[in-house]
Structure 1
């Protein structure tokens, strides 16, 4: 009898190991991978964030975000920079929504994708799961909702999660529209930023970034507050510090680029990583320039850090959006800034890819601006929208692409980005 039970249990386990993955995994995605971000999509998302920027909201007053189905899917697609998530889509109906997500599965003999479909409905304090489908495997709604609530209750033990959950307290679904009501606390933004780092950045990477931020701060203290210093004067010693440290050059490159980008963005990595104080923002005490231009240093390094941390597609798109905004109401469209952005994206990709060791050595040995970036100051810049349209428009047209090809050819010949 015992032998029969043991064989039966073994058979059930074998069936579970083989049948369940076969039922859950598919050969095709339910949601197609996101293509290149269109400029108008990024511009809309940026305006949405600006409109609902928590730093501008009145504390403890109820605010609402209303999105139609296409806008919600735009926002969800923008968020698909997560590893293994290839697409997310929502379909809205009165009182509920159908959410579908496609995740890429590790190599296996059963299928390349895990397609997840959840039917959710409005409920007091949030939503409840009506049904859940993992590939072709149905999960009873009552079980899925019970699991979700148990996970939610466990997550509420974290103070930041609990505060965020309490801030977003009602969701309403209507035909082709979703409304989220929330009440904001000013300090919650810093808590979320710090919690995001805690979740997304492993402790070893946090320690490495903090080390480079502190080393960079020591380099900058040698210069008078408010002064402008050539970028190469901090890049070379910082990456020489990385060279002496040894270990994986990709991780050191990522940490060093992130430290410089944080400084240029006015973010204190020490406050962000160590949770000190309510604000992680500060004005840079020393400014950095590249080929005599502070904006070149910012475009180059911030794009490199974005790319090194996994966002090269967004880095390119955000750089273009910034230039189009400048053409409309800022300093004007500048191919020079766009070139620095594209150079930074290439640097970030190479600094965390196969040539990482060569990139580190090159940066440690850099002695002038030309070692970091070709001089693009001969390119057209400061063009208002009308002038840009007359000379090069539209974006993506032959005259515009001809300039981009010139930029890419010069980058391809540069030892740091070729």
Structure 2
């Protein structure tokens, strides 16, 4: 009986199992409609239950264990949350009612809190269930890859999802191509790093190779320019931090670029989307029409999907409260760009929300991670995540992105002391 009880407790506290439960719940996030209230209820449940699980995980260790192990990052996270809290209280008058305060000021904090809580929960995971997570990530990427070829079938699948209000309004991964694209790039980086790691056996390398391949394909077909940016900065970081594998890294970089161009050449719609930033891609079928100027990236408000305008507005609002910001979520309420817009840059979002004090904690956290992981397997993923957050603020609304990214970072960090 004691053995059975211990076995049940081990499964209940398996971080991988709870990660899959959390991921399944957040994937039913609707974009609009009456089910948004159901989703917000799930958000509250997720955070409260996450705290409960984190407490159970902490209970298995001596007092101060987690503080001793993660002291510096926890100090930065605590400082960031304190800055957000003080800013929200100082600018309380900016929120017209209680519900606006809860959903604009507190919900981003709830999403961000998933990162440290899930990290602690994953300390309880069992090695045997790790394959289930990798399989789930593979399915997510495979669905993303086949989506452009079988839109009717994919839409029918979405239509019968639990929280479906209408077509294209189901999940927080497939609703916007940016989310799927950046996650695809991070999963591809993860798969490639694991593929070339010495501890991976032949069977594991085959699996990681397939995961990377389907992620690269799905990411390219997502038509997300962020996908290409995140993938490139991650691969460059890999080259600079692992000089002993520079030839392998260069080979992977060339292979990725070749696969990307093949996908673009086969799909004109994809080519048109990427061509707003890289004009030559639209002329691949007519090479004689390509000029030298077509290879020069176009970096302007149009190619960056209105981001220059959004970033300029964010800096303008920040100047109204340089030290404590203007309040969490106030940018969405008062920017004049529409309430669905955040700053499309997590670093700028923190600066506007919590001022220079919050920004100092946020940047300090990422600099700590960079220093801790440089030269180790997790470094390309850390740089990739920073690249992704530079062009969108997934910490504001996509729990699926935060959860999946945390699992990838945790798993790859176990390959070393980082």
Q: Which has the higher strand share?
A: 1
Alignment TM-score, normalising by the size of structure 1: 0.23
Q: Which has the higher contact order (CA 8 A, sep 6+)?
A: 2
**More helix as a share of residues:** 2
- Compare CA radii of gyration and give the structure with the larger one: 1
Relative to the length of structure 2, the TM-score reads 0.23
